[in-house]
């Protein structure tokens, strides 16, 4: 369930799963202490994805225009190190997102999901938790893929299994998580709400997942050897995906900020309790 309408004090209210989980509603995730409340986690989540996607975008640009990278004295190995560091920030942000989802009620009138704080939880029936879980798994695979690019063996089969394999499966998980996030916000299979900031957050994130998926497909290296055109397309789509994730992360920070200042500036509609 992503949306529910209910009565409280003879007034109609609307509960939405993403807004509640992100702390953008009047009902707080009260199983968390103040220092870990959703609106504070949002800043860390958005910042993590922002830094990680910035690493990916810069490294993709340097790899795509390698002559430009040479002007800065960057080698291919150093660029790959940048991709690996970027994937670490993705993983940290994805874990905080999963942690946030694991410690949030699934319905407005539901009891807290547990007595204390949990690290991961297990709520596959909850679309918000499931999307965060799949994305976290995808980031772990990206960690493995980018790390193994630092240690290529030259053996075609081995490199395809430990580099391209985690990349393609991680991209599939990202794509699934991106669509689940979009469906959760849309409250259906599809929606078009460009006037809503939350819609842009998930739409740009989904676009980034699609771009990463295309990049992973092009990243396959045939046994006959590297095809320059495929490499360029793979790097180019990685750049597109990184830019989309950068925009999505920036919008997360803006969304959280607008909600916090809303009572004074009225820039964002805050639900009445």
**Residue range 184-226, pLDDT digits in tens:** 999 999 999 999 999 999 999 999 999 999 999 999 999 888 7
| Residue 251 near residue 201, CB atoms below 8 Å | yes
| CA dist., res. 35 & res. 33, Å (int) | 6
pLDDT at 120 exceeding the cut of 60: yes
Measured CA angle at 106 (ends 104, 108), to 5 deg: 95
pLDDT at 4 exceeding the cut of 60: yes
| CA dist., res. 258 & res. 169, Å (int) | 36
Q: Name 4's bridge partners.
A: 15
| CA dist., res. 29 & res. 211, Å (int) | 33
144-160: pLDDT as tens digits: 999 999 998 889 999 99
- Among 18, 28, 45, 21, CA closest to 186: 18
pLDDT of residue 273: 39
Tokens 């209210």 identify what position? 13
| CA dist., res. 83 & res. 145, Å (int) | 10
Q: Name 11's bridge partners.
A: 8
| Residue 91 near residue 139, CB atoms below 8 Å | yes
pLDDT of residue 3: 66
The domain limits of the chain are 12-106+116-265
pLDDT of residue 267: 39
Q: How far apart are the first and last CA of the chain?
A: 21
102-118: pLDDT as tens digits: 988 766 555 555 557 89
Q: HSE (CB half, 13 Å, CA atoms) of 209?
A: 26
pLDDT at 265 exceeding the cut of 60: no
């Amino acid at each position: 369930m992503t949306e529910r309408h209910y009565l409280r004090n003879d007034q109609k209210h609307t509960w939405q799963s993403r807004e509640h989980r992100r702390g953008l509603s009047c009902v707080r995730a009260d199983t968390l202490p103040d220092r870990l409340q959703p609106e504070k986690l949002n800043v860390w989540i958005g910042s993590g994805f922002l830094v990680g996607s910035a690493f990916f975008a810069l490294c993709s640009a340097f790899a795509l225009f390698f002559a430009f990278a040479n002007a800065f004295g960057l080698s291919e190995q150093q660029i790959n190190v940048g991709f690996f560091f970027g994937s670490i920030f993705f993983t940290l942000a994805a874990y905080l997102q999963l942690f946030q989802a694991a410690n949030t009620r699934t319905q407005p009138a539901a009891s807290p999901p547990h007595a204390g704080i949990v690290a991961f939880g297990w709520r596959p029936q909850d679309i918000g938790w499931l999307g965060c879980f799949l994305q976290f798994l995808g980031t772990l695979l990206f960690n493995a893929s980018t790390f193994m690019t630092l240690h290529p063996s030259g053996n075609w089969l081995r490199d395809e299994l430990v580099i391209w394999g985690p990349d393609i499966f991680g991209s599939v998980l990202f794509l699934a998580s991106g669509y689940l996030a979009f469906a959760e916000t849309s409250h259906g299979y599809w929606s078009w709400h460009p006037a809503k900031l939350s819609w842009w957050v998930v739409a740009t994130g989904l676009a980034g997942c699609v771009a990463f998926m295309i990049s992973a497909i092009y990243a396959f290296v045939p046994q006959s050897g590297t095809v320059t055109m495929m490499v360029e397309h793979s790097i180019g789509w990685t750049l597109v995906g990184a830019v989309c994730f950068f925009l999505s992360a920036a919008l997360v920070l803006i969304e959280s900020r607008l909600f916090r200042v809303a009572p004074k500036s009225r820039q964002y509609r805050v639900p009445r309790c």
